[in-house]
A and B are shown apart, each in its own frame.
Chain A
Amino acid sequence: DAKTTQPTSMDCAEGRAANLPCNHSTISGNEYVYWYRQIHSQGPQYIIHGLKNNETNEMASLIITEDRKSSTLILPHATLRDTAVYYCIVRDDIYNFNKFYFGSGTKLNVKP
């Protein structure tokens, strides 16, 4: 039941910022936006999440548009180890607590 649309793949030069977009035009008022990434043959890794305010942590920044219909994950200085599939997920934290429905994600290729 993925409610997000992401580009299939993106390239980024090492050391540059990686900006990964996500469309979630049908998001409802109590749904959060979560970002996870999956490095090949590993379990997904939590990155960041937010409701309507922009968020920043040690890994990334999350920019959510004012109408909340889209968001952008920013990796400020991409490294080769950031090559992974990045998943944007919207989730109702009240009624579907902890359930994540994954879409197809964006394969980010960080190149030297």
Chain B
Amino acid sequence: GDSVTQMEGPVTLSEEAFLTINCTYTATGYPSLFWYVQYPGEGLQLLLKATKADDKGSNKGFEATYRKETTSFHLEKGSVQVSDSAVYFCALSDQRGGADGLTFGKGTHLIIQP
């Protein structure tokens, strides 16, 4: 079945550092890919998405490129802020109309120190 693997956390960085959170996936078809963010005590918020190969999703300074050849969707940001501290989830949706729901990775806890 479908699966998502993302780097283990916690990831601790200083403010203004460059961020990469790795995400790779296994899927039988051509899934849509997502990054969600979860702040403490809150639900999930969609951060960005890409629906086909070579698409780049971007939002709030974060970006990720759908790489079909490496089955990856790594999250990057050039200069992180303390307010970016949260748990980040990579997820995929197959193309069967969503009837299988989203498949999530285990999440990466990001801690940004001032």
Partners in one complex: no
